[in-house]
Structure 1
Amino acid sequence: MNTRLILEYCVYPVTILLVASLFGGCGQATGEQNESPAPNIVFILADDLGYSDIGAYGSEIETPNLDRLANNGIRFTQMHNTSKCFPSRAVLLTGQYAQQVGMSESAGDFEQAVMFGEVLSEADYTTIFVGKHHSTDNPYEWGFDHYWGLRDGAANYFNPGEQRPRDPGPPAQKPGFYPRTFAFDDSLAEPYTPPGDYYGTDSWTDWALELLGRYEEDSQPFMLYLSYQAPHDPLQAPEEDIKKYEGVYEAGYEAIAQARYERQRRMGLLDERYPRSEPTHRPWSDLDDSTRADQLRRMQVYAAMIDRLDQNIGRLIDYLEERGELDNTLIMFASDNGASAEVVQIGEGPIGSMTRWASLKEDWANVANTPFRLYKNYSHEGGTATPFIVHWPEVISEGGQIDHSLLHFIDIMPTLVEVSGAEYPDEYRGEPMHPMKGVSLLPLLRGDSIEREQPLYYEWNSGRAVQTEKWKLVRWEEEWELYDRQTDRTETTNLAGQHPDVVNRLESQWREWAGYSQGFDTAFDHQALVVSDLDSSASFYKEILGLKEIKNETGKPTRRWFSLGGDLQLHLLADEMEGVKVNKSIHLAVTISNFDEFVENLRTRDIEFTDWPGNVNQVNYRPDGVKQVYIKDPDGYSIEVNSRTENL
């Protein structure tokens, strides 16, 4: 069998029990208490929003409320996430890289982490979380005074539950992922079938305002984390908002993208360091009438979802203003990753309706991420760069500023700690905590600068990156690319061949981080797995995956070693070995040339397949043409089998 392998590490989380004493020590970071009243804090998170999808970042979509925050606050051009929903949200909540808290590979339970709901509660903040969480943990059990929302990844906007008598048909739901879990503090609904009129973006704002209203007479400040699902698929919006964008997109992909870029340059958001990347969308003139109508409808609905999102943000702004609290409320807005090129097609009926689950697809995602390359899931800027708006009139002396500082979601926890006067714990629930990885952004809000001692690191799926003030080293799958951030922040000119020393240095730093962040003594030298039946597991890796067994240097019969290519090795252990750190899960990405034949052969064996969002007969079809299946080895470790054609 022709196999090529990539080793990707992942530590799966374990369930952590509540203990009576929450904080063991509090020495890592302490904010400064101000004489003025402690500010309220609001963090608003959009989902799969492209870099240029709001007016303040160049869009034609009507977002007057976000534009108002930008005009009276600061727009940051270089805030970054992880390129994927649940790792980004994990970083945001904990101030750690997702790899350190068990959230780098799947949306499971958090481990060795503390969330800002708990941290700010210790500073006498009322902490409220409404909306999408994307984990199996309930934030209500992690220190938030309230959590109302979707615990899972994505749900139908009009009805995430069972069909109701008044529904036009069966609500479109994702096979294999239904029912979705909603949490209302300590109560779970599986599924959640709304009793009355419901549209996720509207209803979640209703919930946030209701919970805030319960504390209007309290003197203590609040922290609201309002985590929307919009504009993540399914593309669904009220028809009155969809109609607002009739005719807007008739000019096609290139005209819309170029107009956005020109506005970005004209408003001073971007300068010569941001040349527009080469478009990857299809020529509009090449589309037949049916395809063009389909594409127009997708973008209309997508725009309507963003418009509706902004309307609801306006409701929150109005509430704060009516209570005289807007000026002393720190408001932050960002997206969890770039616009998505993923393809999901479920249900019947028009795009935008309750009975149809559709996605934006690749062409419009390329437009949405103007001026950057690629999309959600990639460690390139199209996946990781997000609009980031901060509004706080009592601290920001001049509105309308544009700041080009290099930022990351790891910086949010340190910012909250300093702003609130909270203390970040050394220990939580009996476990030692990692120090916070980011830096506080408060100096930037006050007109000063920040200094970052360490590069920023990225790892999700086949994407990798390390980023400094000068350089960005990035790859998708195997080949590293190098970009000069001082002249080329849109990653248009690959300099890897001209600066091999820089590539080697940054790659070494990334490998060191990847090993450390996931709890291994060394990075990418070997992976140790404890298996229940050594001979059975060895047979699986040899006969099913075609790995080559190599000499066991220890000579012990309880060890089996396999080559993963180059210096990489897989060690199977019949028992725990002292001095060896053992992963609780492994993710092997296996590339084969005869994918279809291989998968059919798997189906004839007793092999467990794992469902994947939007898959067809357990096969996932990626926008780049790669096909994937996920299977389990005899001990439940995860293996990706794909049809990539590159030499890895």
Structure 2
Amino acid sequence: MKHFIYAIMAMLFFASCNQPKKKEVTSQKEKPLNVLLLVGDDIAFGDLGIYGSEIKTPNFSRLANAGVRFSNFHASPVCSVTRSMLLTGCNNIEVGLGSFDYSFYPPSKGKPGYEGYLTDNALTITQLFKDEGYEVMKVGKWHLGGEAAGGHGPLHWGFTKEFGILSGGSNHWNNLRMTPDFSDPDYKNKKFEEHWTLNGEKYNRPEGIYSGELYTNQMIEFIKEANAKKKPWFSYMAFTTAHFPIQAPPELIEKHYQFYLEKGYEGLKQFRYERLKNNGLISEIANPSPENDLVKKWDDLSKEEKEYQAKVFATYAAEIEDQDNRIGQMLDYLKASNQLENTLIVYVSDNGPEGMEAENPKTGNQDFGEWIANNYDTSFEAIGTANSSNYIGTSWANAATGGLSWWKWFIGEGGVRVPMVIVPPGAMNSDYSRAGEISNVVMSVKDIPMTILDYAGINHPGSQYNEKAVVQPSGISARPFLDGKANHVRTDKDWYAFELFGNGYLMKGNYKLMKVRKGMFGDGEWHLYNVVNDPSESNPLEEDQTEIYNEMLALYKGYEDQHKLVKVDEDWSAFKAASE
């Protein structure tokens, strides 16, 4: 009997020795880590194929299948504010982005934290990468300062190379601005040029090359130069798709048109809602968001209006498809040049979809609408071309999120819950243990930079940098979770708060406490939601969960006092301010 047991044990031992072992992700000790940080512009939670969309995005699937897709990740509701946290790991109010440059609350002007650009008390992770001898490249949109409004461009913040625009967006086909210069007395009757730069010098942007192609080719060129020098690199690829003006290559538009003409607003919202549920990206018990009074009904449109709207959203879908193609172009280059194995890849959208409508007095800018009418071709045939200037508007934005509430500018889940994927170094070419996972762990945009530093083995200096006081980050690294050593990124105790335009929220575990002012269509009261079970924020819990509600409200009040948040008048409209 004893011999029999020994024989069995020996067989089990040798069998285990012969089992194939999962590869560990590439260590930066073997090869210096490269970083590819990809940022989409105004991409909704439901816009990508990997998040339930009808838009085919095979290259996003390459990322999702190799890494982890996050379904409970939160950014800010507007572009530059998210980017300030993405590059620093700090709260927006701490580094100058308590205000959005396109819409200032007048009493906040001149107050610390409300500058509208990245302030010098910030320390960006790009500065730390530069200190480590990296080539640090930015391509695309900046939107953190450097124009007449103040602040600095990318080269001040540790980037060794840069290309693109300093503002929040531009025409996708030429060098024209996406908005007029309202300070010009005759602004309604002329177009304005965008300021393009290459490594700090004025760049003459060629006409007729789509933004995705122009940006991607330049980023690949930057990476080639770094690789030739045998230097590790940090690449910040900030697309301007799918930001308005909604323009795209014509060959990509037509394929999407019929689908949106048939579905309409309500049909698309329901389609994506069901796909999100079926794919495990929102809870099986989730309800779609309640009807919104700002949203039009598809059946109330004329035949011509339906056709026009369907083509606009088909162009938006084409922008997303082009972004997927460009990501594929970069992945193919990195694979062919043997750089993919040691590259950490992060994809994130900066906020939810843009719901602005220029002609809408509630959510738009009528002067902007008049400028478009005077200077651009508003015909059906022109949609998507360089001489068009369209936006998807409130009703498509509401549908794009697939059942979440609200959109860009708002702190409802549709404005702040966005796609985010992380592919650890080596995961593209190995049996990564979490490959293909969808996770609803709580994550903030502040956590991304700390995760990147962790993988690169770079320590953040805290509150002192080069004998200067800087803001200490409050983001948390997701690496322990990604490496399978933890089942969370943020525990129930790791809360974080956010405020913009006088609207605020606090996340603690799966609970979200939020208040939206009447001037932005809220009721001015605090409400509590479990946003994992109830991502549409349709079931308030403050009366049932009074202990959690009171605890979270006290935390937010402490945050408000600590950061001296400016109290915003209940009826003030951020949208009207954007036109002033």
Show the counterpart of 1:333. Answer: 347
TM-superposed deviation, 1:287: 1.5
Q: Structure 2 vs 1, CA of residues 351 and 486 (structure 1 numbering), >3 Å: closer, same or farther?
A: closer
By percentage of residues, which structure has more helix? 2
Q: Does 1:370 align with 2:402?
A: yes
1:118 aligns with 2:164: no
Aligned partners of 2:67 and 2:468: how far apart in 1?
Answer: 39
Residue 442 (1) aligns with residue 448 (2): no
In structure 2, the residue matched to 1:488 is 534
Change (3 A) 1:225 1:273: farther
Instruction: Determine the structure 2 residue equivalent to 1:412.
Output: 448
Find out whether 1:255 has 2:267 as its counterpart.
yes
d(CA) in 1 for partners of 2:552, 2:426: 40
Q: 1:62 aligns with which of 56, 67, 79?
A: 56
Q: How does 1:26-425 map to 2 (within 5 A)?
A: 34-105=28-99, 106=101, 107-136=116-145, 137-161=152-176, 173-176=179-182, 178-187=192-201, 189=202, 193-251=204-262, 252-272=264-284, 274-280=286-292, 281-344=295-358, 345=369, 346=372, 347-349=375-377, 350-392=382-424, 394-395=426-427, 396-425=432-461
Deviation at 1:433, TM superposition (A): 2.0
Structure 1 or 2: larger strand share?
1
User: Bigger shift: 229-238 or 395-404?
Assistant: 395-404
Question: 1:588-617 CA deviation, whole Å, 9 max, x = no partner?
Answer: 54748xxxxxxxxxxxxxxxxxxxxxxxxx
Return the alpha-carbon distance in structure 2 between the equivalents of residues 294 and 243 of structure 1: 13
TM-fit CA distance, 1:69: 1.1
Partner of 1:482: helix, strand, or coil?
strand
Answer whether contact 1:79 1:409 (CA < 8 A) is retained. yes
Q: Which amino acid aligns with 1:83?
A: P
User: What residue is the counterpart of 2:555 in the other structure?
Assistant: 509
- Normalised to the residue count of structure 1, the TM-score between the two structures is 0.72
Q: Is the 8 A contact 1:273 1:486 kept in 2?
A: no
What are structure 1's unaligned runs of at least 5 residues? 1-31, 162-170, 525-585, 593-619, 632-648
SS in 2 for 1:492: coil
* Aligned counterparts of 2:308 and 2:237: Cα–Cα separation in 1: 32
Shift of 1:362: 0.6
Q: CA 1:213–1:587 in 2, change beyond 3 Å: closer, same or farther? A: farther
User: What fraction of aligned residue pairs are identical, expressed as a percent?
Assistant: 27
> Which amino acid in the other structure matches residue 364 of structure 1?
W
- Is the partner of 1:108 in helix, strand or coil? coil
Distance 1:196 1:213, change over 3 A: farther
What amino acid is the match of 1:445?
L
CA shift for structure 1 position 384:
0.6
Q: Deviations over 1:457-476 (max 9, x none)?
A: 11111421001114211121
Relative to structure 1, is the Cα distance of residues 588 and 261 closer, same or farther in structure 2, using a 3 angstrom cutoff? closer
Look up the SS of the partner of 1:213 in the other structure.
Answer: helix
Query: How far apart in 2 are the matches of 1:629 and 1:124?
Result: 41
Alpha-carbon separation, structure 2, partners of 1:373 and 1:384:
10
Does 2:509 align with 1:469? yes
**Count of aligned pairs between the two proteins:** 491
Q: Is contact 1:51-1:338 (8 Å) kept?
A: yes
After the TM superposition, which residues 469-618 of structure 1 pair with which residues of structure 2 at under 5 Å, given as runs? 469-477=509-517, 478-485=524-531, 487-516=533-562, 518=563, 520=564, 589=569, 591=571
Is this contact kept in 2: 1:129–1:225, CA < 8 A?
Answer: yes
Pick closer, same or farther for the CA change 1:412–1:110 going to 2, 3 Å.
same
Within 2, Cα distance between the matches of 1:364 and 1:56? 19
CA contact (8 A) 2:440 2:532 kept: no
- Aligned CA-pair RMSD: 2.4
Deviations 1:478-537 (A, max 9, x none): 211111245323311012234444333322211211232x3x4xxx6xxxxxxxxxxxxx
Q: How far 1:58 moved relative to its partner?
A: 0.5
- The 1-side partners of 2:500 and 2:383 are apart by 30
Q: Is the 8 A contact 2:28 2:342 kept in 1?
A: no
In structure 2, runs of 5+ residues without a counterpart are 1-25, 102-115, 146-151, 184-191, 359-368, 518-523
Shift of 1:174: 2.6
- Structure 1 contact 138–183 (Cα < 8 Å) conserved: no
SS across alignment from 1:201 = helix
User: What SS does the corresponding residue of 1:248 show, helix, strand or coil?
Assistant: helix
Letter in 1 for 2:297: P
* Contact persistence 2:441–2:490 (CA under 8 A): no
Shift, 1:397, TM fit: 2.5
Corresponding residue for residue 616 of structure 1: none
1:6 equivalent in structure 2: none
Q: Which range moves more in the overlay, 295-304 or 490-499? A: 490-499
Partner of 1:183: helix, strand, or coil? Answer: strand
The whole-number CA distance in structure 2 between the counterparts of 1:102 and 1:459 is 13
Q: Deviations over 1:262-320 (max 9, x none)?
A: 22222233332543223444332222123212211211111111111111111101111
Identify the residue that residue 27 of structure 1 maps to in structure 2: none
* Separation of aligned partners in 1, 2:77 and 2:178: 26
CA contact (8 A) 2:137 2:161 kept: yes
